[in-house]
Structure 1
Amino acid sequence: MTAEAVTATPARHRRLRFVFITTLLAAALAITCVVSLASGQYALSPTEVAGILLQGVGIDTAWAPDTPSASGVILNIRLPRLVLGVLVGAALAVSGVLMQAIFGNPLADAGVVGVSSGAALGAAASLTFGLATFGMWTTPAMAFIGGLVAVFSVYFISRSGGRTEVVTLLLTGIAINAIGGAGMAFLTFLGTTSTREQIVFWQLGSLNGALWPNIAIVAPLTAVGIVVALFAARSLDLFALGERTARHLGLNVELLRVVVIVTVAVLVCAAVAFAGIIGFVGLVVPHLMRMLIGPAHLPLIVASAVGGALLIALADLVARTAVPLADMPIGMITSLVGGPFFLWLLVRTRRRSGGWA
């Protein structure tokens, strides 16, 4: 067997594994979407859901129920919520991949290091002070500014000697989250009853109240962020070799840093502006995908986007149906999953590095 054949075999196995895992995730996402649309206080069958969706795009079928309330529940309540959840999950997961790549640390995540808190603080400030400078885009714009300030702060504080120290990263995240929490508390104190309810909504994280106009804002932001991440994937592979090596190979490291950090802010602001703080998606999903398909960033970004969408869709299904006549905060559910995973990852990282003393 030639050297080329020996080299090609593992690469082919990785491609096949990527295709299999991504197809499996996509199929699970499709099934979850159908189950989510059919489940709830107003239960429907999958065929009735399919009939309503086809009817919504102008195709008449005998599957759709005659009652107009069924169509309203699906098209105006459940479907916007589901679509927003898929977009938010993809945005948070891809932002996690980018943060872990640029920090060179598997513990980096928008929620853990405070980027989500910064974005939520900016969004809450726009409502508390009645800002409307950019119309419907005001809240996402303020969330973007808050997230950008947070991610730049974390990056420059936690970097030392060309690398990111684990302890410094976590302590910086604690500080940024504390500052964001204090700011949210202050805005809660200043705000009216309605703005206080919205601030609590952001702190808990929820897809309740998703509207199509909100999705019209979140969708392009998420799409742009994921496209930029895909174009930056090869550069991130070079960056993973080390900054000095990447520079010798012709990579503009400074430009890559700025592009990735701005892209993270865009993705996080898209998620936080209308869904609040949903933690640990950007930590759990990229790490699991990296364990399954390897560290190459192009397949990792694609698989993480699908996996993040699946995780939020499942969490939202549980939030809506686990407790009768109640809608649990989705951020609570993701934290119940992500918290133990984060502790395991923390212990595993410490053991591999031989301690942090």
Structure 2
Amino acid sequence: MIQSLPRVRTYFGLLAALLVLCMLASARLGAVVLTWAEIGGFAAEALGLGTPSTDGLATLHRDVFFQIRLPRVVLCALVGAALSASGTLMQALFRNPIVEPGLIGTSAGAALGAAAVFVLGSKVQGLSSTVVASVVLPGAAFLGALAATWLVYRLSAAQGRVTVATMLLAGIAVNALATGGTGCFSYFARDPQARSITFWSLGSFSSADWSGVYLVGAALALGVGLSLQLTKGLNALQLGENEAQYLGVNVRRLQTRVLLLNTLLVAVATSLVGVIGFVGLLVPHLLRLLGFSDNRRLLLGACLLGGALLVVADAVARTVIAPAELPIGVLTAFVGAPVFLWMLARHHRPGQRGGFYA
């Protein structure tokens, strides 16, 4: 168990080092393989400690690194952090280690909102593609995610309490409804729009750029910053809603704020890179198995570990079938689904309880 402050610092130092190493290793890989010396030289140039080479090949590699590879790797880390933080919030809110945004319709709702923009956005007069990509698409994804999450939460509330079993059943229904709506948009869309919806729903970082990095970075900073203020209430909530209220926690307000922050994190990430499942489910669970229990430490640790894992997953996705690229949502599903089934079996096995209680 993680208890002492020196041990906490050691764990966070290791997680931060892991994230940096994964980002550097991933930045080397791709159609153009960069050497460590080249990456070091590019970093020195960016810091003003070196002189840019005028060689044609070096210039090409520099452009690949700064315009393609680096924004992709940074966006992977930010999206992984956002999804992991979201999963941490939802598991703490529902006091269950097998809850993630995808299970309660948040991701599917965001996908439905984004699909509506893909099909209907071009028909709205005065909207340029830049405005749609930077403003309308994240806004529609946020509204879709918020509506789906709110619907599941309302359906799962019985006599003022949230029933986890009912929540999962409601999540299945809302997921099916949102997926059906996305399918309808795909059916009525023209070929370019349908392809955009299909590839987007599988998840990909192929369109990563610096504007996306800034958007997700701002949402992550805002979401995690506000979430850290709620961790004390979430810690008290683990004792039960009545006990948390006795300790002075406004449970209804806490639930509303957590759902809004969860929706912000998931919607912004989903609107840019598509649906990526199981990251928010696995990362908090792995950290609990390592002894993280305080939600404040768990939230920060999840951001670091989630970023590292998604960077590694993206590196595998774009190299395992090179020169083609495997959608990252497919890869995370292949890995995450078996682990989720193991967690589900472990959670309900007599005499054993999941990582949430570790």
Asked if 1:175 is matched to 2:173, the reply is: yes
In the aligned structure 2, how far is the partner of 1:46 from the partner of 1:331? 29
Asked if 1:74 is matched to 2:72, the reply is: no
Counterpart residue type for residue 19 of structure 2: L
Counterpart residue type for residue 345 of structure 1: M
Residue number in structure 2 paired with 1:254: 252
Residue number in structure 1 paired with 2:355: none
Residue number in structure 2 paired with 1:7: none
In the aligned structure 2, how far is the partner of 1:263 from the partner of 1:221? 9
Shift of 1:125: 0.9
CA contact (8 A) 1:104 1:164 kept: no
Shift of 1:336: 1.5
In the aligned structure 1, how far is the partner of 2:350 from the partner of 2:193? 46
Equivalent runs, 1:102-141 vs 2, <5 Å? 102-130=93-121, 132=127, 136-141=134-139
SS across alignment from 2:102 = coil
Residue number in structure 2 paired with 1:284: 282
Per-residue Cα deviation, 1:175-215 (whole angstroms, up to 9, x for no partner)? 12111111111111222222212211222111111111222
CA contact (8 A) 2:104 2:175 kept: yes
Give the counterpart of 1:29 among 19, 44, 51: 19
Give the counterpart of 1:101 among 69, 92, 104: 92
Higher mean C-alpha displacement, 302-311 vs 19-28? 19-28
Asked if 1:89 is matched to 2:87, the reply is: no
In the aligned structure 1, how far is the partner of 2:152 from the partner of 2:49? 51
Shift of 1:235: 1.2
Shift of 1:149: 0.7
Give the share of equivalent positions with the same residue, in percent. Answer: 38
Shift of 1:58: 3.9
Residue number in structure 1 paired with 2:309: 311
Equivalent runs, 1:97-246 vs 2, <5 Å? 97-130=88-121, 132=127, 136-161=134-159, 163-246=161-244
1:72 and 1:146, CA in 2 relative to 1: closer, same or farther beyond 3 A? same
Aligned residue pair count: 345
In the aligned structure 1, how far is the partner of 2:164 from the partner of 2:98? 8
Per-residue Cα deviation, 1:142-168 (whole angstroms, up to 9, x for no partner)? 111011011111222223355544432
Root-mean-square deviation over aligned CA pairs: 2.2
CA contact (8 A) 2:118 2:197 kept: no
Counterpart residue type for residue 297 of structure 2: P
Higher mean C-alpha displacement, 19-28 vs 81-90? 19-28
SS across alignment from 1:229 = helix
CA contact (8 A) 1:25 1:307 kept: yes
Higher mean C-alpha displacement, 312-321 vs 105-114? 105-114
Shift of 1:230: 1.1
Unaligned runs of 5+ in 1: 1-9
SS across alignment from 2:318 = helix
SS across alignment from 1:111 = helix
Unaligned runs of 5+ in 2: 353-358
Residue number in structure 1 paired with 2:266: 268
Residue number in structure 2 paired with 1:19: 9
Shift of 1:12: 4.0
Residue number in structure 2 paired with 1:3: none
Per-residue Cα deviation, 1:54-92 (whole angstroms, up to 9, x for no partner)? 323544258997621101111111111111111110000
SS across alignment from 1:18 = helix
Residue number in structure 2 paired with 1:294: 292
CA contact (8 A) 1:112 1:279 kept: no
Counterpart residue type for residue 73 of structure 2: L
CA contact (8 A) 1:103 1:155 kept: no
1:34 and 1:144, CA in 2 relative to 1: closer, same or farther beyond 3 A? same
SS across alignment from 2:104 = coil
CA contact (8 A) 2:94 2:164 kept: no
Residue number in structure 1 paired with 2:356: none
TM-score, with length taken from structure 2: 0.90
1:290 and 1:161, CA in 2 relative to 1: closer, same or farther beyond 3 A? farther
CA contact (8 A) 1:122 1:145 kept: yes
Counterpart residue type for residue 27 of structure 1: A
1:128 and 1:54, CA in 2 relative to 1: closer, same or farther beyond 3 A? farther
